[in-house]
Structure 1
Amino acid sequence: MEISNEIMKVVIDSQIDEIEGSIIYGFMASRQKDDKNKKLLQKMADDEAKHALVWKSITKKDLKANGFKMFILKVATVILGFTFVVKKMQKGEHKTIGSYEKLEKDLPQIGYLVEEERRHEKELYAMLDEERLHYVGSMVLGLNDALVELTGAIAGVTFALQNTKLVAMTGIITGISATLSMAASNYLAERSDGASDALKSSFYTGMAYLITVALLVLPYLLLPSSMYVIAFATMIVTVLLIILFFNYYLSVTKDEPFIKRFMEMATISLSVAAISFVIGILAKQFLGIDTL
């Protein structure tokens, strides 16, 4: 049977998608400690490889995965966790099913692939149980607290001290002290609620806080002492990027609304920064502080 160029293009894309799916699922399986998840992911990798062979029987071509895309997805799996990558791939699964259903008229031999792709969807959602996602609340606590407190503190002292190194020193001392305090408070709160994983919960809170501190202070460490205005602007951009990234991560892994949460966190953090900025200017004015 003659296949049109349009259909052949879809078939070629489908073959590459299945090859890439097989590679990524196999990579996830190799990193799994949970036997059930490991077997399921490996089964899915094997299924994708079989599907790729079906497409190959039509294209008669040895196609390869996009090496750069595979590298990015593997790095994302390690850093962001398999839940994030799997749910991103789920969107591709929905498109794949739609493409397969359209092709069934012209290529009846691919009919069973639709059912297998649907089965993949159900199995994927059923298996998603990643440890780090149990502590999203702890990470939100640390991240949000650091953004509000440190953004406010740094904004307040930037124009009062007018020296990036002094601001960095203030931010580091304040940030580390607040990290230890926040982690300890979270531990005590979890212990008082009878949580058996209080230590791990406090670790996630502390790490989220500390990483945020490091990112906010970094512009002041890198820029010359006199460039405090640029350092401040860079910090504000960094705050918005952190909020953007974290809320995008939550919107994918926890199916939470992205825009609403982003606007809420951004409004709170920037409002505190604005208020602290005014307080810093007033303090400098009325206390007669001069660091120049």
Structure 2
Amino acid sequence: MELTKSDYKKIHQFQKDEITECRIYEKLSKRVKDENNKQVLSDIADDEKKHYDFWEDVSGKKISPNYFKVYLFYFISVVFGLVFGIKLLEKGEEQAQDVYGDITNKIEGVKEIISDEYDHESKLIAMIDDDRLNYVGSVVLGLNDALVELTGTLAGLTFALRNTNLIAISGLITGIAASFSMAASEYLAKKSDGDEDALKSSLYTGLAYIVTVTLLVLPYLLISQYFISLIVTLAVAVLVIVFFNFYIAIAKDLSFKKRFLEMFAISMGVAVFSFLVGYLVRIFFGVDI
């Protein structure tokens, strides 16, 4: 079956995608120290190179990688973790499979490539050991508690105090004290379970808590209008929930929508309730600052 100009245009894009991903995996394999991860990344890079060579034989044309994409995904993998970066890359590759279209029937061997992409590479990715994902539970604990407690505390303080400086100071003191308390609790809980990495787990929990506290309190330090500060803080809380659940959904292959709605409902529900408590406290106790 004869290939059209449109088919060749698609093939050239397939070539660029394959050689780009090959370079990403090669670059990552040179960076990681873990021998298992290094070998897995090297094997995936070899797969991508084979796919590129297949398409080059079909088109008869050499294609250069997208170096912007190479450095972008290298950066993402370094900052947010190896598994997250790779799975985010593979999500884009899965979507690209839809454009194969009629080419699967025109060129022998294309179906084998698609099968290889889904089967072999998926198995290889599952073999990667990412230290950050081993402590996701600890991060979830710190981040979720900080979101629920601080959005509620700041909402309550906003109506009770109506002074951004006092709210910020109160929020920071509460948040920092709570972060140490949460980290200590996580350490003791893991230690009692015989976990050798109890200290590391507690550090992840405490760090996630402090980062979240800082982001939530920051609007009160930058904006003088207390009500606007609260709105911005709630918006920041939503963004944190979106980002974190997107990260977990990609890295752990979980449902984004379900986890997002659950965390959103809890955090915002507590914030609304605390806002009402602050209002009632101000009325009944006659607080006027």
What TM-score comes out, normalization by structure 2 length?
A: 0.91
| Pairs within 5 Å for 1:101-112 | 102-108=102-108
In structure 1, the partner of 2:286 is 288
In structure 2, relative to structure 1, the CA distance for the partners of 1:115 and 1:141 (3 Å cut) is: closer
Once the two structures are TM-superposed, the CA of residue 190 in structure 1 deviates from its matched residue by 1.1
1:235 aligns with 2:233: yes
Deviation at 1:33, TM superposition (A): 1.9
Q: Offset of 1:121 from its aligned partner?
A: 2.6
Question: Counterparts in 2 of 1:70-219, with a 5 A limit?
Answer: 70-95=70-95, 102-108=102-108, 113-114=113-114, 116-219=116-219
Contact 1:21 1:45 in 2 (8 A): yes
CA shift at 1:102, angstroms? 4.6
Unpaired segments ≥5 residues, structure 1: none
> Could you tell me which of 254, 257, 270 is aligned with 1:256?
254
Q: Distance in 2 between matches of 1:169 and 1:270?
A: 22
Opposite residue 195 of structure 1, the aligned amino acid is D
Residue matched to 1:276: 274
Q: Separation in 1 of the partners of 2:98 and 2:57? A: 21
Cα displacement string for residues 240-277 of structure 1 (whole angstroms, at most 9, x for unaligned residues): 11111111211121222221211111111111111111
Q: CA deviation at 1:91?
A: 3.1
- Give unmatched runs, 5+ long, in structure 2: none
Q: How do residues 24-103 of structure 1 correspond to structure 2 at under 5 angstroms?
A: 24-95=24-95, 102-103=102-103
Q: Distance in 1 between matches of 2:99 and 2:39?
A: 28
Q: Please give the alpha-carbon distance, in whole angstroms, between the structure 2 residues aligned to 1:146 and 1:205.
A: 10
Q: Please state how far the C-alpha of 1:53 moved relative to its aligned partner.
A: 3.2
> Displacement of 1:100 after TM fit?
6.0
Q: Give the counterpart of 2:264 among 263, 266, 270.
A: 266
1:83–1:128 Cα contact (<8 Å) kept: yes
CA–CA distance in structure 2, aligned partners of residues 261 and 2 of structure 1: 48
Check whether the contact 1:100–1:113 (CA below 8 A) recurs between aligned residues: no
Q: Report the alpha carbon displacement of residue 220 of structure 1 after superposing the two structures with TM.
A: 1.2
Counterpart CA distance in 1 for 2:236 and 2:115 is 45
Instruction: Report the residue type matching 2:272 in the other structure.
Output: A
Using the alignment, how far apart are the partners of 1:233 and 1:72 within structure 2?
Answer: 33
Q: Which amino acid counterpart does residue 175 of structure 2 have in structure 1?
A: G
Question: For residues 153 and 104 of structure 1, what CA distance do their matches in structure 2 show?
Answer: 58
Query: 2 CA distance for matches of 1:182 and 1:243?
Result: 19
Q: CA deviation at 1:160?
A: 2.0
Q: Is the 8 A contact 1:187 1:202 kept in 2?
A: yes
**Normalised by the size of structure 1, how large is the TM-score?**
0.90
The 2-side partners of 1:20 and 1:45 are apart by: 10
Does structure 1 conserve the Cα–Cα contact (< 8 Å) formed by 2:40 and 2:128? Answer: no
SS at match of 1:108: coil
How far 1:101 moved relative to its partner? 8.3
What do residues 92-115 of structure 1 show as CA deviations (whole Å, max 9, x unaligned)?
444566666853443336565345
Q: Summarize the Cα distance change of 1:4–1:35 in structure 2 as closer, same or farther, 3 Å threshold.
A: same
How far apart, CA to CA, are the structure 2 residues paired with 1:99 and 1:187?
50
Task: Check whether the contact 1:97–1:114 (CA below 8 A) recurs between aligned residues.
Answer: yes
Structure 1 window deviating more from structure 2 (116-125 vs 209-218): it is 116-125
CA offsets, 1:143-178, max 9 Å, x none?
111011111111111122222222111111111111
User: Which shows bigger deviation, 250-259 or 175-184?
Assistant: 250-259
Q: What secondary structure is seen at the aligned counterpart in 1 of 2:170?
A: helix
Percent identity between the two aligned chains: 47
Instruction: State the AA in 1 paired with 2:12.
Output: I
- Deviation of residue 22 (structure 1)? 0.7
